[in-house]
Amino acid sequence: MKSEELSKIAEKINQCTKCKLHETKNNAVPGDGGKDSGLLFIGEAPGYWEDQKGVPFVVAAGKILDELLDSINLERSQVFITNVVKCRPPNNRDPLPEEMNACRPSLERQIEVIQPKVIVTLGRFAMDYVFKKYGLPDAKIGEVHGKDFEINTLNGRMRILALYHPAVVTHNPSYRPVLLDDFKRLGELIKN
């Protein structure tokens, strides 16, 4: 059932023309991974290689994400990974509000179908979206990374964990231990 519903969402994403990003995309990037694990990772937007392959988090950021998952004995196939914006912004610029608004119904439907027990936000745009959606206070990622927030939803209790985007390590390797520590927190959350 989840697979079928997520396939329908992906089809709509692939055909979407709600913003100008569809004009420059090679591939939309609806999301990928395990649908039943209760873990949902939300990034910001596809980059160049994601746009080429139609898969989230490939190449450098993807390799780092895979290493972080491995550090807590998870594989990519065990988590569902998507983005706030489903098509690549030109030159990897930050997503614009109208682009995020255009993609919002698809992301909200993905969350509804997956019914995650834990949402992990990767980067400030994903964090801002999720915090606003669930009524959490505005925050800076540097202040809340690695902290989890418990909320009640119609589907029960859910945790939200805000993390730096894995790509930060490619620009500043000193963030690797920070991300590893934050992933340890995720490992603790999923054991409980």
The pLDDT value given to residue 1? 81
The pLDDT value given to residue 35? 87
| pLDDT of 192 over the 80 cut | no
| pLDDT of 155 over the 90 cut | no
Higher-scoring residue by pLDDT: 70, 156: 70
| pLDDT of 111 over the 90 cut | yes
Average pLDDT, the chain: 95
Task: Give the chain's radius of gyration (CA, Å).
Answer: 15
Domain range 2-191, its CATH number among 3.40.50.620, 3.40.50.300, 3.40.470.10, 3.40.50.1220: 3.40.470.10
Distance of CA 181 to the CA centre of its chain: 19
Distance, in Å, from the CA atom of 80 to the CA atom of 102, rounded to the nearest integer, reads 21
When pLDDT is cut at 50, 70 and 90, the band that residue 154 belongs to is confident
| pLDDT of 153 over the 90 cut | no
Domain borders along the chain are: 2-191
Other Cβ atoms less than 10 A from the Cβ of 145: the count is: 21
Distance, in Å, from the CA atom of 43 to the CA atom of 96, rounded to the nearest integer, reads 15
